Amino acid sequence: MGNSLLERAFQVIDETRKQELGHLATQSEPNGQKWEISIHGKKVVPFSLSDYLMLMHDERIINGAIESIKENGFNLSISREFLHLHKTDEAEDILAEVFGNPVALYPKTTLAHVGALPLLIERKDAVILDHHVHATIQMATDMVRAHGTHIEIIRHNNMQKLEERIVALRKTHEKIWYLADGVYSMYGDVFPAKEVEILLNKYEKFYVYVDDAHGISWTGPNGSGYVLSQIRQHPKMVLAVSFGKGFGAGGGAIVCPGEEIKKLLVYLSGPLMFTGPLESSTLGGLIASSKIHLSPEITELQSQLKELIDYFYDRCDEMGLPLVDKTRTPTAYFPMGNWENISLCGKILYPERLSATAGLFPAVPIKNVGVRIQITLYQTKSDIEKLVQVMARIYKKIIKERDFSIEETLSHFRG
């Protein structure tokens, strides 16, 4: 490969595959009110899925997808610029009810970033990236960089530095854009919405683009996400969302602060002009899921998940287990220090029929490797209890046998 870091990353990821920690094949089947997940034919309790409310298997969503295929065929093979299924309008209209603002659909959230950012951000603007903003936003920002737009990075969630840069950049730039996540996908920490809202009201030139992919469904009015659980969508805020996680369907979208921005995206986004549209099945699933989100049922599902989330964090506190962040989101991260400890973790978790996600370079910095846990309705309290007991056993082992320091390891995540 000619790059030592890439070669090392390749070797580690290849080793995770061999040790059944990554690149695994899965299938699922119903078992009463729950769904059982198998990996390589062995049933496991999944702590690695982002399907927070277990909607992926909901019969209403599946039937919505099937009926849409029967009605429209599997796919409409033409650019939206020329033609689109009526289901697209239906899906965008009902999603606008969920989010309270106009919605422009994209086949994937990554394509939403690629389509939106080069249109929203102009050459005379400036971009401030949160250091932990999702890699797909950073990729899309490279397209903006190519046009000569000023781009810089600040430390994660550093509001003091953000305001300092707004004050400095507004003297020489038309708009200052801050790009961040709603819920950060690896550590589970969150966007400081109320603090950012103050800055939006204080500085006329300040704008925000937030990817709330991991905040959708499990929180917020109508399951509209973490950001909208904290504040209303500001006129200078653009939201990117994913429907392939908590929503149980697929595709992504930009939630626009007004109709004019939606028109801009629908008319001129490269991915909508030059790539295929959402499949008919996805549109049918989105409509069916939206109806669930607009019903009282979503509140009940959120409540059930919150009970499990609270139980997990309470037990981690009681057991003295280290977490990188203790914000009560469905995503939590156990720091492991190095690949060898993650390998040991996998060798213990998988035989216990527990599936988790290895956080490895290049997805995280080399010193920030760990194990990501996601709390979902696939689990019970007894499943969570088993997980924390196993993690306690793992930490006891690496502290005793591998000179592992929790405090030193956590220090790499600070600052």
pLDDT band at 359 (very low <50, low <70, confident <90, very high): confident
Give the model confidence (pLDDT) of 371-415 as tens digits. Answer: 999 999 999 999 999 999 999 999 999 999 988 888 888 988 875
Selected residue with higher pLDDT from 19 and 283: 283
Q: Are residues 21 and 33 in the same domain?
A: yes
Residues 66 and 200 reside in one and the same domain: yes
Please count the CA atoms within 13 angstroms of the CA of 22 that sit on its side-chain side. Answer: 17
pLDDT score at 2? 57
Residues 153-159 have a mean pLDDT of 96
Domain ends where: 239, 274, 293?
Answer: 293
Give me the helices (H) in 190-276, please: 193-202, 226-230, 259-268, 270-274
| 249 and 133 together in one domain | yes
DSSP for residue 358: E
User: What band does 59 get if pLDDT is binned at 50, 70 and 90?
Assistant: very high
Domain extent at residue 99: 59-293
State whether 19 and 70 are in the same domain: no
3-class state of residue 374 by DSSP: strand
| Partners of 42 in beta bridges | 39
| pLDDT of 121 over the 60 cut | yes
Domain with residue 198: its CATH number is 3.40.640.10
User: Would you say residue 322 has pLDDT above 70?
Assistant: yes
Is there a single domain that holds both residue 207 and residue 219? yes
Mean pLDDT of the chain: 92
Q: How many domains does the chain have?
A: 2
- Is it the case that residue 21 has pLDDT exceeding 70? no
Residue 270 clears pLDDT 60, i.e. is over it: yes
Which CATH number belongs to the domain containing residue 390 in this structure?
3.90.1150.10
With bands split at pLDDT 50, 70 and 90, how would you rate the model's confidence at 332?
A: very high
pLDDT at 156 over 60: yes
Q: Which of 32-46, 102-116, 188-202 has the lowest mean pLDDT?
A: 32-46
- Measure the CA–CA gap between 373 and 377, rounded to whole angstroms: 13
Instruction: Give the domain-ending residue among 293, 322, 355.
Output: 293
138 shares its domain with 279: yes
Same domain, 265 and 300: no
Q: Given this model, what pLDDT does residue 309 score?
A: 98
Whole-number Å distance between alpha carbons of 228 and 234: 10
Tell me how far apart the alpha carbons of residues 191 and 234 are, in angstroms, rounded to a whole number. Answer: 14
CA distance 218 to 43: 25
In a shared domain, residues 100 and 39: no
For the cut 80, the answer to whether the pLDDT of residue 284 exceeds it is: yes
Please report the pLDDT score of residue 379 as a whole number: 96
Written as six digits, the tokens of 404 are 């592992």
The confidence band for 346, taking pLDDT boundaries of 50, 70 and 90, is confident
* Own/partner pairs, 191-195, CB within 8 angstroms, 24+ separation: 191/157, 191/226, 191/227, 191/230, 192/157, 192/159, 193/226, 193/227, 193/230, 193/231, 194/230, 194/231, 195/159
Q: pLDDT band at 149, cuts 50/70/90?
A: very high
Q: Are residues 319 and 257 in the same domain?
A: no
Tell me: do 116 and 265 sit in the same domain. yes
Give, rounded to a whole angstrom, the gap between the first and last alpha carbons of the chain: 33
Nearest CA to 144 among 124, 172, 173, 171? 124
pLDDT tens digits, one per residue of 383-393? 999 999 999 99
Q: Which amino acid is at 345?
A: C
Q: What share of the chain has pLDDT > 90, as a percent?
A: 73
Give the separation between CA 415 and CA 405, rounded to whole angstroms. 18
pLDDT (mean) for 289-293: 98
Region of poorest pLDDT, from 112-116, 195-199, 360-364: 360-364
The pLDDT assigned to 20 comes to 66
pLDDT digit string, tens, across residues 173-228: 999 999 999 999 999 999 999 999 999 999 999 999 999 999 999 999 999 999 99
Rounded mean pLDDT of 165-175?
98
Residues 185 and 39 reside in one and the same domain: no
104 plus 189 within the same structural domain:
yes
Under the banding of pLDDT at 50, 70 and 90, the label for residue 12 is confident
